[in-house]
Structure 1
């Protein structure tokens, strides 16, 4: 969305709210020349362990399990 400096002065609170709700940047222009942008703060995503559970096929190491003595020795360069 693009607004003039005058519009931004009049409706700043509304423009900030709209950017936050829609996720859309608001460009403030002096005539045709962009001079500033209101950018919405990214929304936090929750980290979810196992997001690909049941979607991956085949053998893979379980990174939450301890390594065997042999794997640990190889990992440490032995």
Structure 2
């Protein structure tokens, strides 16, 4: 891990952040010998495109019958 003193931080952190994103390496910010912060790139969690909800549903009862006897459906007559 690269270390950088707080006095050596550039005026614009944008170049430093782009460097971290490109290399993927974290940078430790120190004040003398005391560590202050660690800047590291974020990672996107990989998610399956299809089937991510597989096995989470539950069928309770008959899925063809109407849910209530109070409702009359024209299709069923």
TM-score (norm 2): 0.51
Determine which structure has the larger helix proportion and give its number.
Answer: 1
How far apart, in 2, do the equivalents of 1:19 and 1:42 lie? 12
Larger Rg: 2
In structure 1, the gaps of 5 or more residues are 50-62, 64-78
Aligned to 1:52: none
How far apart, in 2, do the equivalents of 1:15 and 1:43 lie? 20
For residues 41-75 of structure 1, the C-alpha deviation after alignment (integer angstroms, 9 at most, x for no partner) is 113435266xxxxxxxxxxxxx8xxxxxxxxxxxx
TM-score (norm 1): 0.50
Aligned to 1:22: 23
Q: How many residues align?
A: 60
Aligned to 2:68: none
Aligned to 2:14: 13
Q: Give the root-mean-square deviation of aligned CA atoms.
A: 3.4
Label 1:43 to 1:18 Cα distance change in 2 as closer, same or farther (>3 A). farther
